[in-house]
Amino acid sequence: MSNETSLITSGSVGSSFEGNSEHQSSLRKQVEAEKLAKINELLNPYRTKRQELQARRDELAAGLDEVDKELNELDGVISQVESSVGLHPSSTKRRKHTTHKRAARPAVDGDWVIQKLRERHMTFNEIIKLAKEEGFKPASAKNALTKLQDANLVRVNDGSHYEVV
């Protein structure tokens, strides 16, 4: 129903249009506020679940670091015992490789990703490859990209290339 029709049917044909436009403006604001509240209400369970999963992931990551330390200690003990009895150490290669890999490759941070994307738009694989070439942990680039996307600082355009928002 148009504004004129609603004015005629409501019996306020001669009323001022200024009052009506203010009323429409306040109604529009009210509808927008209700719509935003409803969207937030629908998203709140997902946001809560995401926070819980992120906290759980962080706990597990910390636990994995502790487990890795303990594994490395056990590998060291096993290697010492094996070498003391004349056996070829079985886990030395794994232990050295893991320790060397962790010490040599720092994690990518969001600033690095943003800097590279400002230089040129890249695909996920290009970012991973560049991180590896520059001596970073390639897997950490995925985490940094995810965090930047969640913060709406980076987006995917044309289906595959990332760009800074």
- 39-85 per-position pLDDT tens digit: 999 999 999 999 999 989 888 888 888 888 899 889 888 888 888 88
Q: Are residues 73 and 146 in the same domain?
A: no
Q: Are residues 95 and 157 in the same domain?
A: no
For the whole model, what pTM was predicted? 0.38
Domain extent at residue 139: 106-165
- Please compute, for residue 12, the number of CA atoms within 13 A of its CA located in the half-sphere on the CB side: 9
Rounded distance, CA 10 to CA 24, Å? Answer: 15
Q: Are residues 42 and 97 in the same domain?
A: yes
Q: Are residues 6 and 74 in the same domain?
A: yes
Domain count, the chain: 2
Q: Are residues 111 and 37 in the same domain?
A: no
